[in-house]
Each structure stands twice: as C-alpha cells, then as structure tokens.
Structure 1
Amino acid sequence: MAQAKKSGPGWDSVELAPVVLIKSKEEALTDRARDRLIAQARQQDPEIEVVKLDAGDYPAGELAVLASPSLFGGAKLGIVTGLESMSDAFLQDALELVAHPSPDLFLVAVRSMKSRSAARGVKLDKAIESVGFPVADIPELKYDSDKIDLLRADASRAGRRVNEDALRMLVDSMGSDIREMTSALRQLIDDTSGTITTTHVNTYYGGRIEATGYAVADAVVEGNLTLALQQMRHALSTGTHEVAIVSALAFKFRDMAKVSATMGRDGRNIKLSMAPWQVDRAKRSLRNWSDEALARAISAIAKADADVKGFRGEARDATYSLEKCIRVVTAARRL
C-alpha cells in the first residue's frame, strides 16, 4: 500500500540547509520563511553575505562564482526568487549545485505557486527533494479560520491574548491583505497591554478599516446600538450594500439559533456543520440572549431582508429598513 506523501515544513519550522526550496502561495509568509533562514545563517556567521538573485534574469555561472571560496573567507547566502520563470542557465547551474553542494554557500530558492508558469523547472524541485534538502510548503490562507489561527499564533508567540471578536474584526476588515492584517496586530501588541479587544482595534483602526456587515452584526449581538449604527453608516459609505449587511445579521443569528438547539433546550442532539470556533463563539453570544429575544431578532431580520430586496411595496428606503431592524434587534437583547 502506497504511503501518503509527507508535507514539508511550514514557514515557521523550516531549517537552514545547503539548499532550501520554498514553494509558496502566500507572499507575506514567504517573507517570514526567508527572514527565519537569514536569521539562522547569521547565527552561524554574523558576517555572512546575503546575495539576491532572480532566476528568470540569471547570468550563467553566477552560482558557481558564489559557491567558490572567497580570498577573505566567510560564507554566502543566496536568496533566489522567480523559480517559476527560471532560465535554462539557472536550471543547469542549480542542478549542479544540488548534486554538489558548497560549504561556502547556502541557497534559498523561492517558487511562487500562484503563477501560471509554476510548473517551470519542476525537475529542480524533484532533484532537491530526492537529495533530502528541506522543501517548505506555504499554502494560501483562503479561509477566515486560517487567518484567525495565524493571528492567534502570532499573539501567542508574543505572549499576548486576543479575544475572538477582535480577531474576527481584524480578519473581516483587513483579511484580504495578509501583510496588512498581521502588521495591524503587531502594532496592537506593541502599543497596548493586556488582552486585545475590539475596543483596541476600533481605537487604532476605526478610521482606516473597511466596515463590514459582520462588524455591524457583532455590535448588534452585543447590544451596542451606537456602535452598530456607526458601523452601518461606515459600511454604507464605503460601498457595502444594505443586502450584504442584512445577510451578515442573518448568518450570525442563524448560527446562534443552530447552536441554541443543541444546548439541551429541546433534548435533541444535532450535528452542526460549523467549525468548533464558530460553535464556541455562538455559545458565548447566546449567554445574553433568551429564546424569546432570539425569535424576535430572527423575525425582524427576515422582514428587513425582504424590505431591502424590494419584496415589500412599503419598503421605499432600504437604509431606513436596515436601521429599523438594527434598533429592533438590539432592543430584543434586553428580553
């Protein structure tokens, strides 16, 4: 029976070797892997020379020059990008280096797996793998749960905690740019103390972040009418449609209703198609919501959904219908 192929180390666990291949779909994490390897090289030799090369614009023989001993001693670290468009000259020289590594050169080769030409030079990949040199796999962070995991791990490495709502706010507002999202968290870690909350995120990025329907929904669930209306107006002013905001409300309360049905209120054991963190978050939200309040909120959201989609003749103003819904739902929380 064939064994499953083992995945390579991630950006945070790859170790320096004579040759390291980084296959990545996430540029921000590629930079982290590269910086990690540079730091390891400088631990071995603080004076190591770092040389950057482009595999697509490569002069034949350059690797041999780098690998040759220097009159002044000292090793070199070559950072090569653009493997997805490598020249034939680079492929030939790199294959030679892999077969006969140099004690005076570390080579870190980066291949972007998002490029249409990512298959270019697969022969080099196989050669590196066959020798046993590290091949770091960095997948794309497609899902919010992956982005939240990254932020949580970053905070943990810094010895800090971030509550789930703050993590969600960072992802909702900046998750399309991983570098910006992680930089925002780093600033919060540097400039605040204690557990990082949505208040910190709003204080530092309230004027910059793109308000989303989920930010509105979070404020509504917390019963914070002022913040909910503020986020609603911000979202509308940045191009978010009323329909999207109502959809976010519906999604949030639908999750709460699903989890509510599994908490021993009707004796049924229902299997949910939700991630564990989503279930935990819904449970925390439900602490402040009675069954009657939840039912009233869902009814108001259903009416608003029809209104903003124009299904009701009396709904001439979608924004008014949305604001009315937010007021009704936040008031229902007090039941």
Structure 2
Amino acid sequence: MATARSTKTKIPQLSWTEAQPAPVVLISGPEGFLADRAGQMIREALKQERADLEVHDIDAASYNAGELFTFASPSLFAEPRLIRVDSVEKCSDAFLEDAKKYVTQPAEDTTLVLRHGGGVRGKALLDLIRGGNGVEFVCAEVKKDQDRLTFVQSEFRRLGAQISPNAARMLVAAYSGGLGELAGACEQLVSDVGTRIDEDDVNRATEGRVETNAFKVADAATAGRAADALVLLRQAFSTGTDPIPMLAALNFKMRGIARAYGATGSGGQLAKDLGMAPWQADRAVKDARAWREEDLARCIEMAAETEWLLKGGSRDPEYALEKYLLFIARRGRER
C-alpha cells in the first residue's frame, strides 16, 4: 500500500531556477554551481522572512547519529532553522536512517535542504522524498554549448543587462571551464562595461585568455588555413600557452565535424540533432564536406595519439601538436 501511495503522490522534478523553501528540499544533479545557486536562493528567501534565521551545516559523509534531530530541535527563542546537508550521495548509514525518519515528520519552522550529486547511494531516501515527502530541484550537468549560451543569456538578464548574440557566443568560447567561472565573467563584464555588452566589449575582456587563443587556432585549422593556424599556434607557444588546452580546442572542433559528417536537414533540426547552436551546426556541416570518411577516422585516432604524446609520451609535445594541427588543416591530405 505504501508503494502505491508514493506512486500517486510522486513530486515533479523542478528546475533549480524555481528553488524556494519547503520543509524538505532535495537539490539533485551533478552541476555543483547551480546547486549552490539554488541553495543560496532558498537561504535568501528565508532570511527575508526572518532575519534571525539559524543556519546549520551537516556533512552527510561524516554524520553521527542524532545530529539532525539535535539541530532541528526548537531553540529557546524559537528562531526558524535552515539545515543544509551536503554529500548525501556519500552519506553514512547513520544519516540515512535518521533522514528517512525525519522526512516523514519534519520539525516545525525548519527547512531541511539535502544536496545529492548523483549515484545510487541514498536511493531509499530519495525515493521517500520523491514519493511525496518533499520538493526536488534539479541541477542537470551543463555540457552542450547551446546550454552554456542559454545560461549566459539568463545571467545577463538576472544582472539587468543585455548582451548581443555574437558577444554571448564569444564569451562561451572564451570560458570553457566551469559555470562558476562563466558566471563570474558575466558579473565582471557588467561591472566594468555596464548593462549593454557587445562583441568589442567581450573581445577586450577576454584578450589573452588561453581558451580564446586556442579557439582561434582551432578555427583556422578546421577552416583549412594551415599557414595561419601554424603562425597562431607558435605565437601561443611563445607566450607560454600550454599545449593541452590547445589540443582540447582542436578536439572540440573535430568532434563537432565528426558528428556533422553526412548530416542533412534544415538548420534548426540539424542544430537539435547535433546538440549545437544553429551557427555551429552550419559551420560543422560545411567543414565536414571537405573531409573524406577515412581521413576523418584517422584524425580521431590521431587525436588520442597526440594526447598521449602531450601527456608524457614525447620529449617534444609542441612538435606533436603541430603535426596534428597540420593534419587537420590539410584535411588528412599530404600537400
């Protein structure tokens, strides 16, 4: 009977952007930055209601029996409580048992926020919450460039600013690391430039970044401009750029071309099928037409070989990268 009741009352999985307080909150998914942002939103909402909010933090991995109930116990002055639990995916057995008891009967004036990064550990607790004993906000991993572009656009809206489409794409290309770095770049641009951002603003702000240099090299190589690509690569080396980020940019471009090889359809459908922005899909399809299938397959093999050479397999990693770059720029053909 309990299982049937849980099925009927299964809660929806909401976006992290909708995060708000509830007696039991599950923040799930691998994207740590978004999870932190969701947690901050909940804390700020509670602080606006009551400035005397008590905040307690628990590490589920090192939890000792009874801690949760101790923090949830009413204080002398009856202040509201926020209990934040991290690393639920690594929780101790003691936490799992206490949490399963707690979520079925949460304490009054208490918000319990559980952070679960993924995996099977703690599944019984998650099933209990999803069965109707809480709310869930999902922080899915952001991997596709289109998703990162959407994130950038939403960040500027949050900051009360506007960025041109091409400038947003340049920013995404320049900051290929975590979302935290990308969000910080958005805030810095608004602070330095103002609420209207264009391509020149982004170009000035990202000038000299390793990622920006790397993508300029990759763009030249995949466009077939061997001489330009080689000059840009050697300029990057002369400024101390590490070969690994350069290889990553080349491989990123080549994976897109490989996915686009032989693809057909309208621009919008191609972008959806390939998991790219429309302009990227068009470029990848165009670049793919210059390749033969056997040469493209060899390029994928050469990418793995070059990575091995750059990570200790060669005494001259710069030469190894130059060789790979010229193979790409010449589309696998000797000239």
What range is the shorter-chain TM-score in?
0.5 to 0.7
What is the CA deviation profile of residues 76-96 of structure 1, one whole-angstrom value per residue up to 9, with x for unaligned ones? Answer: 101001111111221121122
Partner in structure 2 of residue 274 of structure 1: 271
| Greater share of residues in helix | 2
Q: Is the 8 A contact 1:216 1:232 kept in 2?
A: no
Partner in structure 2 of residue 238 of structure 1: 242
User: Letter of the aligned partner of 1:201 in structure 2?
Assistant: V
For residues 71-90 of structure 1, what are the structure 2 equivalents within 5 Å?
71-90=76-95
User: In structure 2, do the counterparts of structure 1 residues 243 and 98 end up closer, same or farther at CA, with 3 Å as the change threshold?
Assistant: closer
Partner in structure 2 of residue 330 of structure 1: none
User: Letter of the aligned partner of 1:207 in structure 2?
Assistant: G
Q: Is the 8 A contact 1:213 1:249 kept in 2?
A: no
Partner in structure 1 of residue 199 of structure 2: 198
Give the C-alpha shift of residue 45 in structure 1. 1.1
Give the Cα separation in 2 of the matches to 1:280 and 1:272: 12
Partner in structure 2 of residue 119 of structure 1: 120
User: In structure 2, do the counterparts of structure 1 residues 102 and 145 end up closer, same or farther at CA, with 3 Å as the change threshold?
Assistant: same
What is the CA deviation profile of residues 246-286 of structure 1, one whole-angstrom value per residue up to 9, with x for unaligned ones? Answer: 888899999xxx9xx99xxxxxx888622497435789x9x
Partner in structure 2 of residue 27 of structure 1: 32
Which range is displaced more, 74-83 or 126-135?
126-135
Give the Cα separation in 2 of the matches to 1:245 and 1:54: 37
User: In structure 2, do the counterparts of structure 1 residues 50 and 194 end up closer, same or farther at CA, with 3 Å as the change threshold?
Assistant: closer
Give the C-alpha shift of residue 187 in structure 1. 0.6
User: In structure 2, do the counterparts of structure 1 residues 50 and 133 end up closer, same or farther at CA, with 3 Å as the change threshold?
Assistant: same
Give the C-alpha shift of residue 244 in structure 1. 8.2
Give the C-alpha shift of residue 69 in structure 1. 1.4
Structural RMSD (CA)? 4.4
Give the secondary-structure state (helix, strand or coil) at the position aligned to 1:53: strand
Structure 1 unaligned runs (5+)?
A: 263-268, 286-293, 310-315, 327-335
Give the secondary-structure state (helix, strand or coil) at the position aligned to 2:16: coil
For residues 172-321 of structure 1, what are the structure 2 equivalents within 5 Å?
172-216=173-217, 233-234=235-236, 237-239=241-243, 273-275=270-272, 278-279=277-278
So what's the TM-score if we normalise by structure 1?
A: 0.68
Aligned residues: 287
What is the CA deviation profile of residues 123-175 of structure 1, one whole-angstrom value per residue up to 9, with x for unaligned ones? Answer: 11111122341111111111111111101111122222223333233322322
Give the Cα separation in 2 of the matches to 1:60 and 1:145: 44
What is the CA deviation profile of residues 163-220 of structure 1, one whole-angstrom value per residue up to 9, with x for unaligned ones? Answer: 3333233322322222111111111112112532333233223233423553357799
User: Letter of the aligned partner of 1:183 in structure 2?
Assistant: G
Partner in structure 1 of residue 49 of structure 2: 44
For residues 122-141 of structure 1, what are the structure 2 equivalents within 5 Å?
122-141=123-142
Give the C-alpha shift of residue 122 in structure 1. 0.9
Which entry has the higher C-alpha Rg, 1 or 2? 1
